[in-house]
Structure 1
């Protein structure tokens, strides 16, 4: 085991423990301090990101890195930088997720019990590319009172290193330890940390299904994450044409390499000669490749006039098509006879991430949202909305598709747990031996409380 990794884990645990009596307001101060440091170091960070991109482009040409990972690496693309800094402010402005009472009761006269939210401890977060994730997760960890160790992809090491330095510099100007947020760079360190369950309390892998599964199979520490972003849209028999074209096109083309981009389109059989060809035309015009089952393929070959790129952008599906996360301008398409068959198909082939129905039927919308077993289910809205920032969480550490603890975009609420606090106000204290048959009975009288009074 790497002694360096063990030292990092110990420092993180100590930083967490030493921060427990620091007022939560100091976490907000720390976030503003970090944002100031990042802003001051912008030019150097973006220059490092440029160097990472140039090196990554060589890897893409050699086939050792995918184009989708390259696009995620770019910190200048669109409004990534500004959104990253704004995300810090958004998180800082959110209510403190710790110290909230979700249950309070009086067991006996003067014996009070409170269930109160608290920080989890030390987080180990492992992700690929996307250097802005370093800042996103640091902000959420600090706000929720957790220490964190972050490992980005090696392709973003230059950028990550400078982002980490800015975060440490920001923390150093507060009463929080500058070891509260640390970064590592090697797989060997990850392997060592995964064995240190005495220091690490939660692992959050954010990346490919292979990354997530490898982490899950190699640690005793609790893991939250998602193995795939295999999202589906179902065109219900009552679907509106214009809604279908807008929503499907946005879900596929807005950011094809994102985990919330649609990967499978399910078409109700009654739409094969009406709405489906119109939707296909829009997708083909947007350079989307369609992998179709026989009914949807036949419907396209009968189109008049036929799209110019029909022969180059449309091909037949096979048994494995609907289990693929394309993360590119490729969309799997299948025709099914009913809402129930679509629901069954999604639950079988999807990854329980985000799925949408396009419909004008309220009963069908309700049945879809209830029957599809995914962390997010939508009616007439792009799957790309599955995001912590868009949900109002400020940002997210990732999207969880499991069923325990956190589910969907994981923001502050997913980074806290709870503990029970009990207080006896009796002069002699309370003991269990006074309760039972023929003795005292528990009153279990609900207490109205938003915070613990001790």
Structure 2
């Protein structure tokens, strides 16, 4: 691929995409659903080839699980697309409206970012989610998937591109990179690419951040915690802890550490050990935990490890303050959970835990763009600017200030006898006539 040419085409396509109406974008998404369903046999055949090669190459079990893209996964992806179609067009929304003076109005209007570069590993379903979210939000896209999914990614990109072309989307809005060298080249294309979203290991994300001038949105680790408080319903706590760890272990929102209040530990730990044993989870714990249940010893390294596997570390803590301190010390700012019957304590926990997602009495696995009603997600961000948590369409949008006047000039508002600004909130959308009365 001539990456410079592809990036230039994406930049041009982004300009055209940003002006498309919602009906046209939804028609493209509808065509993509039809194409994915029609091409299911070919897509799954390509994926089986990738899986066979990955097993031969000794790919780790968690990555193999992410790589699988069977009929059920295709149907799940199509369901996400249908949900996305039902959402309102996020582009061109008036976020605020202010009268500066009579017939001088200032609007803040949502706009696409432009060209998004996404680098991800293993999961072909991510390609479908990312491309559909970029399409709906009016962004062009350059994608680089892992080499282990090369066949699956290629047929998915071809299927999506062909379907979108039938709906008259501009050429070049989606480009697929296929070599490692192209990633390095992409990181230097700050003239064309507006945002990079890396999805992968801590080392990989750090490498991306250190080798580009393009803004980077993402997270390095998913070290998530479940804290079981003294006032917790212990049956509920077992259910929440097991789901947080076991519902799907090879993802960034799966729990890696279980924290237990010392007053609940003796009653809770044997029950949760039995539940985890039935799921095949290997446990390790602190000294206080091991005095109650017989499991191997945990080390400081366990507290900062993202297992992405059927492994879990357990620590008994003196109180909620100690749990919060542990999370803020060893966590990655992703998703953390408290199980307690005390609402005020739950609110204090949420106020003090420095994470993008903080939950009360529910599984960490809910930290997901589709479950949040965002349509899907392009990634998870632990950043503290622009977007945080599961990044759906809102994370692919920026805003534009638009001012409408009738020959107004700044000189009239400066110096002796200067006119005063009214700065009055307006209750209307950008594009409504100056003469149209405000509701």
Q: Is 1:19 aligned to residue 13 of structure 2?
A: no
Q: Is 1:29 aligned to residue 7 of structure 2?
A: no
**Residue of structure 2 equivalent to 1:308:** none
Q: Is 1:231 aligned to residue 221 of structure 2?
A: no
**How many residues are treated as equivalent by the alignment?**
432
**Residue of structure 2 equivalent to 1:442:** 421
Distance 2:23 2:202 in 1: 37
Question: Which residues of 2 match residues 387-398 of structure 1 at below 5 A?
Answer: 387-398=368-379
Q: Is 1:240 aligned to residue 218 of structure 2?
A: no
Once the two structures are TM-superposed, the CA of residue 168 in structure 1 deviates from its matched residue by 1.2
Assess if the C-alpha contact under 8 Å between 2:198 and 2:205 holds in 1.
yes
**Residue of structure 2 equivalent to 1:123:** 116
**Residue of structure 2 equivalent to 1:286:** 279
Q: Is 1:72 aligned to residue 66 of structure 2?
A: yes
Distance 1:121 1:275 in 2: 51
Residues 22 and 253 of structure 1, relative CA distance in 2, 3 Å threshold: closer
- Deviation per CA, 1:366-425, whole angstroms, max 9, x where unpaired? 111111111111111011111111111121111111111111111111110001000112
Assess if the C-alpha contact under 8 Å between 1:117 and 1:416 holds in 2.
yes
Once the two structures are TM-superposed, the CA of residue 437 in structure 1 deviates from its matched residue by 4.3
- Deviation per CA, 1:115-167, whole angstroms, max 9, x where unpaired? 00000000001100111111111110000000001111000000000001111
Distance 1:87 1:213 in 2: 30
Q: Is 1:453 aligned to residue 432 of structure 2?
A: yes
Q: Is 1:408 aligned to residue 389 of structure 2?
A: yes
Q: Is 1:330 aligned to residue 311 of structure 2?
A: yes
Question: Which residues of 2 match residues 254-293 of structure 1 at below 5 A?
Answer: 254-293=247-286
1:417 aligns to what SS in structure 2?
strand
Assess if the C-alpha contact under 8 Å between 1:225 and 1:399 holds in 2.
yes
Distance 2:317 2:196 in 1: 39
Distance 2:300 2:328 in 1: 16
**Residue of structure 2 equivalent to 1:422:** 403
Distance 2:293 2:19 in 1: 65
**Residue of structure 2 equivalent to 1:38:** 36
Distance 2:95 2:245 in 1: 40
Distance 2:266 2:99 in 1: 65
Distance 2:28 2:260 in 1: 50
Assess if the C-alpha contact under 8 Å between 2:9 and 2:171 holds in 1.
no
2:122 aligns to what SS in structure 1?
coil
**Residue of structure 2 equivalent to 1:431:** 409
- Deviation per CA, 1:426-448, whole angstroms, max 9, x where unpaired? xxx11111113431111111111
- Deviation per CA, 1:61-119, whole angstroms, max 9, x where unpaired? xxxx2111010000127x31111011111111111111111111111111111000000
Distance 2:18 2:245 in 1: 44
Residues 287 and 183 of structure 1, relative CA distance in 2, 3 Å threshold: same
Select 2:164's aligned residue among 161, 167, 171.
171
**Residue of structure 2 equivalent to 1:113:** 106
Distance 1:451 1:243 in 2: 48
**Residue of structure 2 equivalent to 1:305:** none
Residues 437 and 276 of structure 1, relative CA distance in 2, 3 Å threshold: farther
Distance 1:258 1:349 in 2: 18
2:193 aligns to what SS in structure 1?
coil
Once the two structures are TM-superposed, the CA of residue 326 in structure 1 deviates from its matched residue by 0.5
**Residue of structure 2 equivalent to 1:359:** 340
Once the two structures are TM-superposed, the CA of residue 345 in structure 1 deviates from its matched residue by 1.0
Distance 1:55 1:102 in 2: 49
1:272 aligns to what SS in structure 2?
helix
Q: Is 1:96 aligned to residue 104 of structure 2?
A: no
Assess if the C-alpha contact under 8 Å between 1:99 and 1:452 holds in 2.
no
**Residue of structure 2 equivalent to 1:182:** 175
Question: Which residues of 2 match residues 348-387 of structure 1 at below 5 A?
Answer: 348-387=329-368
Say which is worse superposed, 340-349 or 114-123, in terms of deviation. 340-349
